[in-house]
Amino acid sequence: MTDNVNQSKSDADPAEWMPSLSSVYCRYITEWTAVKTRWGLSVDTAEKSSLASYAAACTNSTVTVEVVLGSGSTATATTTATATATATATATSGGSCTGTNGTDVTIPDAGSAVTSSITISGCAHTAASSTSTIYVYVVHPFRGDVSVWLYAPDGTYYILKSASSSDSTANVNTTYTADLSSETSNGAWKLSVKDAYSGDTGYLNTWTLTV
């Protein structure tokens, strides 16, 4: 890790920062979970959601750590820490019903919508679930500016989040549930994100679709 990258990370957790190389995501969250377990550290809601989302695209990784309690004393036994929610949506046919796109996409200020795609292939069930989930993480200082739509392979769209001038909280870090049972699971799905108001800008960090 270079000094500049280390400084950009600072004290941010996985809900706020991830390595630029998506190929190391699984190793990163496994080591993060091991450190949390070793030192008995707490996990906030946003951090837990991000860890679960990233872990969904990983195979199970098991590490053994010596637990050091928060008081500083050392536990006499060891424990096995497994990254949470790993590969929970793997289809029985060997394909996957879950996909993640972690490539950053800049959202222009009060500009056109930008899109990010995930292709689902080999999913065992033909129709998507009535309780499909879409995890979305958008970095933006004023999330009320942001609207989020999901496009199915046939072009049908689902509004996950509308823009709202009264919502001044930062970032979109949410798992949405949608009834996609009328859609085919396999195919190219698109997330569309638009900044509706001028003054602030941000970017789509990552999203995960489970059909």
Q: Give the residue carrying structure tokens 């699984």.
A: 26
Give residue 10's pLDDT: 77
Q: What is the pLDDT of residue 76?
A: 34
Please classify residue 193 by burial: count the beta carbons closer than 10 Å to its beta carbon, then call 0-12 exposed, 13-18 middle and 19+ buried. buried
* Residue whose token pair is 């990233």: 54
pLDDT of residue 63: 67
207 touches 191 (CB < 8 A): yes
pTM of the full structure: 0.57
C-alpha 68, offset from chain centre: 29
Query: What's the token pair of residue 15?
Result: 């809900």
Spatial separation of the C-alpha atoms in residues 164 and 112, rounded to whole Å? 17
Structure tokens at 57: 């695209």
Provide the residue-wise pLDDT of the chain in tens; the chain has 211 residues. Answer: 566 666 677 778 888 888 888 888 888 888 888 787 777 677 777 888 888 888 888 877 666 666 654 433 333 333 333 332 222 222 222 357 999 999 999 999 999 999 999 999 999 999 999 999 999 999 999 999 999 999 999 999 999 999 998 888 999 999 999 999 999 999 999 999 999 998 888 999 999 999 9
Q: How far is CA 38 from CA 79, 83, 117, 194, in A?
A: 9, 13, 37, 41
Paired tokens of 196: 């509706």
The residues, ordered by sequence, that sit 6+ positions from 208 with a Cβ below 8 Å of its Cβ are 53, 54, 56, 57, 98, 99, 100, 133, 134, 135
DSSP 150-185: EE-TTS-EEEEE---TT-----EEEEEEE--TTSBS
What are the tens digits of pLDDT across the range 9-67? 777 888 888 888 888 888 888 888 878 777 767 777 788 888 888 888 887 766 666 66
Q: How far is CA 94 from CA 48, 122, 126, 143, in A?
A: 27, 7, 14, 37
